[in-house]
């Protein structure tokens, strides 16, 4: 009499029993690192069943009842499920479970985070990270994003501890044992991966009251470890701005009753968009504007605006399954830049976004790149989606679409999408259809499908054909890559063209096209404004029209792209590195930060091709190139200077002192490091990097002491990561030991080891160390950080090290990041080939 479950698989629960409302009581024991829980779930039985399946992992179930009657149950660890043997007819039912679990140290599920208080005693926080499928480690649940439900949470805690969850506290009762049962407002229907609870000796700021679009107010707070309240002002300011801005942008009120942002000492990712209870690494939420750099502040602003964007896009409207995670993240990346640009127009956020686009291009030029979206069966398969192609490429594609449609036209499409699908779950195509519905003249779905489902991006070659412009697209790739038939991939490319004083848009949706030019003798700019996710190759004639005196008429992004495209033409084997160097030297008059950042990427790349005397002569040329700009700017910031000018100074000091090995700059940097009080933070940060590259043991001790007693997370990380840059094997060796010694948080240690691998002189030593400690590192560090730790092996290009790295990973795969590992290894081979190809000619040119 019982029907078979509908579409049950190892990864998908049957849709025969659907949760509607969870009532959850959790009682953590912080010193004991454990918790007990009691759960009542109101479910709808859609089809008669003889058992109920839900997810549970690493929990001990101590009792199970359905509709008040005890039922037998079985744990199925392989599929992370619990099976209740009970026959149910269609209609409502109530599932009751009691369970215990462990507060783990793996930074997932419900886990322990620790800090030392003023008296040096360790204090414990219990905090949660559910995405992707770790909610089942905190309580039994239907752990799939489209099984949205209401969560009614109560935490039973020691009275001196702060306890928060997704909803606002609505009730507090003292129990006979003195503990407090703190009940939170039931949530809107939402996915399990957004559930959060945090309990610990923490403090909260006074709430900032942000107006709600439909009346009322949103209390916004930052929760932090005691003593760090003075670092919350900036994050609160950004957060309040973003909450107002998003409500207007989306045209929808903030979807819940309060907003807590929690700064945690231990966090595997950067931050997590739990509805109304957003968790962050401390360095991404807490900062002191007086002592932090623009980059450090922008990072906080980016992450805060990113997470708040998710409250609507992700939390209110959610992907149906994990294949949709890319859109969730790409969209939040796009919005973070848009909102940050509105928050601080002087930071020119859409211009500096070029750097992120470059990062995406780098990976996307490899044979081992992937399509942005791909089918996901097991949830684990989406772990590889949290990468540069999702965030940076996905964000850049949305920017490209927005600029083609127009900002207001795009915004109306987004608002329409969120309104139509409110509280629901969607597939990617639903977004394109919603945007197209309000912009019927543009083939949004056809265009975006060509970018989402095909890997790579086009190289658009431009040449003159009489009075016309001839455009041809083919897939861009690094030298030596064999794309086979994929080289002919055709994208639907929205292009902005400029010729003389005329600008217009075309949709290049075939391999070739010819376009009439209004002023055939004047400069022609393809991808004007730089929003297209394309590389451009001009003929010598067309490029010559854009350089020299014409440079100053180009926008910053256009100049950025000229440099970036040129360096990548070297990587692609279409331009000699010697020609690139001369080309960049034509930018000596450049005074914009973003363009100097592009130049810096190329110059560091060239530096990696050289050794010995040739490298020293290259460093001389770097000094000659940078010195005039530095002299113009001076070492002393002007009174009314804007943030980006200060940041440019820091960038130039880094180029001059570290890459250029300029003795005078190094002397000045040392004086700054010895007496940093009152010095501009941009100079302090740059000086630390410069001094580390030439530092001695005394410098090392100074940075180590700063790491141990830094007043802000930013000061701490600057000092810590600089320990990787020292010039002697002995000091780098100390840093390697430090990374694994337990003193460095496991959230930071993998990045410290990675930075040691990037050390120009001792990368091999660091690689050997990581290789020897592979098992230990994998056991100690969060899973998602392992591939990031070894990412800099791409810079190790000596043939024997290349062989060693490649064969090591053949035997030691990183299953949670298999695709990213492939990309790192391919990039290493590409870099090694580039060096082999260019070194001789470039060295000879340096001698001449």
Q: Give me the least distance between CB of 327 and Zn ion, in Å please.
A: 11
Q: Is 332 in the site for Zn ion (CB under 5 A)?
A: yes
Query: Which segments of 621-728 are extended strands (E)?
Result: none
Least gap, CB of 425 to Zn ion (angstroms): 17
**Residue of 414, 388, 396 lying closest to 531 (CA atoms):** 396
Q: Which is nearer to Zn ion, 245 or 538 (CB)?
A: 245
Quote the Cα angle for 671-599-482, to 5°.
Answer: 135
Buried/exposed code over 162-189 (b: 16+ C-beta within 10 A; e: otherwise): bbbbbbeeeeeeeeeeebbbbbbbbbbb
Subset of residues 558 to 587 that bind Zn ion, contact rule: CB under 5 A? none
Residue (284 or 665) nearer to Zn ion, CB: 284
Asked if 511 and 472 touch (Cβ cutoff 8 Å), the reply is yes
Please report how close the Cβ of residue 267 comes to Zn ion at its closest, in angstroms.
13
Q: How buried is 116 (Cβ within 10 angstroms: 0-12 exposed, 13-18 middle, 19+ buried)?
A: exposed
Q: Which two tokens mark 265? A: 């000492």
Q: Where are the alpha helices (DSSP H) in 406-471?
A: 407-420, 428-438, 444-452
CB of 312 to Zn ion, least distance (A): 12
- 491 vs 532: CA distance, rounded Å: 12
Cβ closest to Zn ion, residue 329 vs residue 662: 329
| Nearest distance from C-beta of residue 387 to Zn ion, angstroms | 13
With respect to Zn ion, which residue has the nearer C-beta, 193 or 703? 193
Task: Give the strand pairing for 162-165 and 197-200.
Answer: antiparallel
Indicate the residue among 132 and 473 with the shorter CB distance to Zn ion. 132
- What angle, rounded to 10 degrees, do the helices at 697-708 and 729-740 form? 20
The sign of the torsion formed by the CA atoms of 385, 386, 387, 389 equals: positive
Quick check: 49 binds Zn ion (CB under 5 A)? no
Residue 669 tokens read as 């940097």
Q: Is 311 in the site for Zn ion (CB under 5 A)?
A: no
- Distance CA(617)–CA(614), nearest Å, equals 5
Give the DSSP letter of residue 324. Answer: G
CA 598 – CA 147 distance, rounded (Å): 45
* Contact region with Zn ion (CB under 5 A), list: 53-61, 325-333, 372-380, 470-478: 325-333
Instruction: Please identify, using beta-carbon distances, which residue of 332 and 673 lies nearer to Zn ion.
Output: 332
Residue 213 — φ and ψ, nearest 5°?
-60, -35
Minimum distance between the CB of residue 320 and Zn ion, rounded to whole angstroms?
17
Q: Which stretch binds Zn ion (CB under 5 A): 13-21, 256-264, 322-330, 441-449?
A: 322-330
How many CA atoms are closer than 13 Å to the CA of 439, on its beta-carbon side? 26
Cβ distance to Zn ion smaller for residue 284 or 478: 284
Q: How far is the CB of 249 from Zn ion (least distance, A)?
A: 17
Nearer to Zn ion, 329 or 822 (CB): 329
Q: What is the distance between the alpha carbons of residues 499 and 168, in angstroms, rounded to a whole number? A: 57
Least Å from the CB of residue 200 to Zn ion? 24
Helices (H), 540-662: 540-546, 556-571, 577-585, 593-607, 612-633, 643-654
Least distance from Zn ion to the Cβ atom of residue 308, Å? 10
- Burial class for 777, CB neighbours closer than 10 Å (0-12, 13-18, 19+): buried
CB nearer Zn ion, residue 103 or residue 261: 261
The tokens of 104 are what?
Answer: 């783990």
Stretch that binds Zn ion, among 30-38, 146-154, 326-334, 592-600 (CB under 5 A): 326-334
- Count the alpha carbons within 13 Å of 35 in the hemisphere toward its beta carbon: 31
In the residue annotation, 307 being an active-site residue is answered as yes
* Spatial separation of the C-alpha atoms in residues 711 and 714, rounded to whole Å: 9
- Minimum CB separation from Zn ion for residue 100, in Å? 32
Query: Could you give the count of Cα atoms lying within 13 Å of 177 in the half-sphere of its Cβ?
Result: 7
Give the residue nearest to Zn ion (CB). 332
Active-site hit among 282, 307, 402, 826 = 307
Dihedral sign for Cα atoms in the order 564, 567, 571, 574: positive
Q: Are the CB atoms for 564 and 585 separated by under 8 Å?
A: no
Count of residues binding Zn ion (CB under 5 A)? 2
Residue with smaller CB distance to Zn ion, 279 or 843: 279
State the residues that interact with Zn ion by CB under 5 A.
329, 332
Catalytic residue numbers read 307
């Amino acid at each position: 009499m019982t029907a078979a479950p509908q579409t049950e698989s190892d990864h998908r629960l049957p849709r025969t029993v659907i949760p509607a409302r969870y009532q959850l009581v959790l009682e953590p024991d912080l010193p004991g690192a454990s918790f007990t829980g009691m759960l009542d779930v109101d479910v709808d039985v859609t089809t008669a069943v003889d058992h109920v399946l839900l997810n549970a992992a690493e929990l001990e179930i101590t009792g199970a009842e359905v509709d008040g009657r005890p039922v037998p149950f079985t744990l199925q660890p392989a599929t992370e499920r619990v099976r209740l043997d009970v026959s149910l007819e269609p209609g409502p039912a109530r599932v009751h479970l009691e369970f215990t679990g462990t507060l783990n140290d793996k930074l997932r599920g419900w886990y322990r985070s620790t800090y030392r208080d003023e008296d040096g005693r360790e204090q414990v926080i219990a905090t949660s990270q559910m995405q992707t499928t770790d909610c089942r480690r905190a309580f039994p649940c239907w752990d799939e994003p489209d099984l949205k439900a209401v969560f009614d949470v109560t935490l039973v805690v020691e009275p001196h501890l702060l306890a928060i969850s997704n909803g606002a506290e609505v009730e507090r009762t003292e129990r006979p044992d003195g503990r407090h049962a703190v009940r939170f407002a039931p949530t809107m229907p939402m996915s399990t991966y957004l559930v959060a609870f945090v309990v610990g000796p923490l403090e909260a700021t006074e709430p900032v009251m942000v107006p709600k679009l439909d009346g009322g107010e949103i209390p916004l707070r930052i929760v932090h470890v005691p003593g760090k309240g003075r670092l919350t002002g900036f994050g609160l300011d950004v957060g309040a701005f973003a909450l107002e801005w998003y409500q207007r942008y989306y045209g929808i009120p903030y979807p819940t009753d309060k907003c807590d942002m929690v700064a945690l000492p231990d966090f595997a990712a950067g931050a997590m968009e739990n509805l109304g209870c957003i968790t962050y690494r401390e360095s991404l939420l807490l900062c002191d504007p007086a002592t932090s750099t623009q980059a450090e502040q922008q990072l906080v602003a980016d992450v805060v605006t990113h997470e708040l964007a998710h409250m609507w896009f992700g939390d209110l409207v959610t992907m149906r399954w994990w294949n949709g995670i890319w859109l969730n993240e790409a969209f939040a990346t796009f919005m973070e830049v848009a909102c940050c640009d509105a928050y601080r127009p002087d930071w020119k956020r859409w211009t500096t976004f070029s750097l992120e686009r470059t990062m995406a291009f780098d990976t996307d030029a490899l044979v081992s790149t992937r399509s942005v979206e791909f089918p996901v069966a097991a949830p684990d398969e989406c772990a590889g989606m949290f990468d540069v192609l999702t965030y940076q490429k996905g964000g850049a594609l949305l920017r490209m679409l927005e600029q083609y449609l127009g900002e207001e036209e795009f915004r109306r499409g987004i608002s329409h999408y969120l309104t139509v699908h409110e509280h629901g779950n969607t597939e990617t195509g639903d977004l394109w259809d919603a945007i197209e519905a309000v912009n019927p003249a543009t083939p949004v779905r056809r265009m975006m499908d060509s970018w989402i489902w095909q890997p790579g991006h086009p190289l658009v070659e431009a040449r003159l054909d009489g009075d016309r412009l001839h455009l041809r697209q083919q897939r861009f790739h690094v030298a030596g890559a064999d794309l086979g038939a994929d080289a002919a991939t055709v994208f639907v490319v929205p292009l902005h063209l400029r010729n003389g004083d005329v600008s217009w848009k075309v949709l290049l949706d075939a391999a070739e096209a010819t376009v009439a030019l209004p002023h055939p003798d004047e400069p022609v700019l393809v991808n004007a404004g730089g929003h297209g996710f394309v590389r451009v190759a001009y003929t010598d004639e067309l490029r010559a029209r854009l350089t020299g005196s014409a440079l100053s008429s180009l926008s910053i992004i256009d100049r950025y792209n000229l440099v970036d495209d040129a360096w990548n033409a070297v990587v692609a084997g279409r331009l000699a590195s010697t020609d690139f160097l001369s080309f960049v030297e034509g930018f000596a008059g450049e005074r914009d930060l973003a363009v100097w950042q592009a130049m810096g990427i190329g110059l560091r790349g060239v530096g990696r091709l050289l050794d010995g005397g040739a490298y020293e002569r290259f460093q001389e040329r770097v000094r000659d190139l940078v010195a005039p700009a530095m002299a113009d700017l001076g070492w002393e910031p002007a009174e009314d200077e804007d943030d980006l000018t200060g940041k440019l100074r820091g960038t130039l000091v880094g180029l001059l002192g570290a890459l250029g090995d300029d003795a005078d700059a190094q002397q000045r940097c040392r004086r700054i490091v010895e007496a940093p009080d009152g010095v501009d933070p941009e100079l302090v940060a740059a000086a630390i990097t410069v001094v580390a590259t030439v530092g001695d043991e005394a410098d090392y001790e100074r940075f180590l002491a700063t790491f141990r007693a830094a007043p802000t997370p930013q000061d701490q990380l600057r000092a810590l990561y600089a320990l990787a840059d020292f010039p002697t094997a002995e000091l780098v060796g100390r840093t390697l030991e430090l990374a694994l010694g337990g003193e460095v948080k496991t959230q930071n240690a993998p990045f410290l080891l990675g930075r040691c691998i990037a050390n120009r002189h001792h990368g091999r030593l660091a690689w050997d160390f990581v290789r020897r400690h592979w098992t230990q590192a994998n056991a100690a560090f969060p899973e998602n950080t392992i591939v990031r730790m070894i990412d800099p092996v791409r810079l190790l290009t000596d043939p024997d090290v290349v062989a060693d790295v490649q064969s090591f990973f053949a035997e030691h795969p990183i299953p949670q990041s298999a695709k990213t590992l492939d990309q790192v290894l391919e990039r290493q081979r590409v870099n090694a080939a580039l060096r082999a190809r260019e070194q001789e000619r470039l060295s000879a040119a340096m001698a001449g």
